[in-house]
Amino acid sequence: MTAVRLTGVSKLYGNIRALKDVSLEVESGQITCVLGDNGAGKSTLIKIIAGLHQHDGGTYEIDGEQVRLNSPREALDRGIATVYQDLAVVPLMPVWRNFFLGSEPTTGRGPLRRLDVPLMRRTTRAELLRMGIDLRDVDQPIGTLSGGERQCVAIARAVYFGARVLILDEPTAALGVKQSGVVLKYVAAARDAGLAVVLITHNPHHAYLVGDRFVLLKRGTMAGSHERSGITLEELTRQMAGGSELDELSHELAAARSQAPEEAPGQQRT
């Protein structure tokens, strides 16, 4: 089932065209990877899907209905959650408090109304375990967790609060190899739970580990769209690195090297 479909979407910022004729289909139970270097248009695409910005051209559909979202709240109400690279957490607050931040359940009435702390603790631990995340203590400050663990908490939170479409903005960009593997494991778990996942990344190796579909952006336009069965990691990496442009550069460098004067025997560079 197609959860989100963008067809021929364009976006202008004044005279700057950030996106031009970009199409994207996001299926439930699949991971769609959007790849591109800095300035390729990935951030603009995220903001359109997440309701931060509106598209200027083309169509945006959710469950087959054309929409123009006016805010991230509208996106959330339709089940679209975005986990940004710079996670919005309060480092000194415990994990359970960050898990419910802005949506805290309460107990009691009137002047006796208070936060239902036991429920938040139990729920946070249960939901993290359901995603395969076994934290030693949900009372520890979230700032003491590794970057990968914080990303995983954010993913579990989005799933708990009813996300059907999960957008992940460069979740492994600032992580080492081991922590990146941890995050990708939980990205795959979200897919296996039936969510439609959009993984934004500039790393083709990470994308190929979990992706079902790959969309390549370059300077705001589509440079390719491939099913996993139709492309190898080597070809995906080649296209991501510039493809024919990279080949042309290699030939130019090889030609320059062959034309460089050879040093005389015993001559040293200064």
pLDDT (tens digit per residue) in 45-98: 999 999 999 999 999 999 999 999 999 999 999 999 999 877 778 899 999 999
The amino acid at 242: G
Per-residue pLDDT band at 229 (split at 50, 70, 90): very high
Residue (of 203, 165, 115, 174) closest to 6 by Cα position? 165
Q: Do 126 and 118 touch, CB atoms closer than 8 A?
A: no
Residue 26 has pLDDT above 60, yes or no: yes
Average pLDDT estimate for 120-138: 88
Structure tokens at 127: 């939901």
Residue 246 has pLDDT above 90, yes or no: no
In terms of Cβ atoms closer than 10 Å to its own Cβ (0-12, 13-18, 19+), residue 13 is exposed
Distance CA 209, CA 95 (A): 29
Tally of CA atoms within 13 A in the half-sphere of 132 that contains its CB:
11
Structure tokens at 168: 């992940």
pLDDT more than 90, % of the chain: 56
- Which residues, 6 or more positions from 186, have their beta carbon under 8 angstroms from its beta carbon? 131, 132, 133, 151, 152, 155, 156
The model's pTM is 0.82
How high is the pLDDT of residue 140? 93
Backbone angles phi, psi at 166, to 5 degrees: -115, 120
Laid out side by side, the sheet with 65-66 consists of 16-27, 2-13, 57-62, 65-66
Q: Cα angle at 174 between 11 and 16, to 5 degrees? A: 15
In the chain the domains, ranked by start, together with CATH numbers, are 2-231 (3.40.50.300)
